[in-house]
């Protein structure tokens, strides 16, 4: 099963585009934080950034209602794509969103 749930803050204003066939796609980044105490007892926060993509009617909702900095729960699946740049094979990992909750 390929399923991921993220709770984090929107890192940018969602960016909407359309495919050549007219289907809407929205991209945004999301930051999740992990808090822990290091060996010295100091509180440390590690931030992980995630690229999120959403399609169709759900993309309309995200474009209209998601705001930079606000907290959301996002559910979806992990999608890794490969491409070539300067003769080198590169990888890009995204979360394809299929559900969310306002927090």
pLDDT tens column, 41-79: 999 999 999 999 999 999 999 999 999 999 999 999 999
Q: What angle do CA 80, 84, 86 make, to 5 degrees?
A: 145
Distance of CA 60 to the CA centre of its chain: 16
Question: What integer pLDDT is reported at residue 57 of this predicted model?
Answer: 94
The CATH class of the 4-82+93-102 domain is mainly beta
Please tell me whether the overall predicted TM-score, pTM, comes out greater than 0.75 for this model.
Answer: yes
Average confidence score pLDDT of the chain? 96
């Amino acid at each position: 099963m390929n399923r991921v749930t993220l709770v984090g803050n929107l890192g940018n204003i969602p960016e909407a585009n359309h495919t050549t066939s007219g289907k809407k796609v929205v991209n945004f980044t999301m930051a999740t934080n992990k808090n822990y105490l290091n060996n010295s007892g100091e509180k440390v926060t590690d931030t992980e950034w995630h690229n999120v993509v959403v399609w169709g009617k759900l993309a309309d909702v995200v474009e209209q209602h998601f705001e930079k900095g606000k907290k959301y729960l996002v559910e979806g699946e992990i999608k890794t794509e490969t491409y070539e740049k300067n003769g080198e094979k590169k990888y890009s990992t995204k979360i394809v969103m299929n559900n969310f909750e306002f927090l």
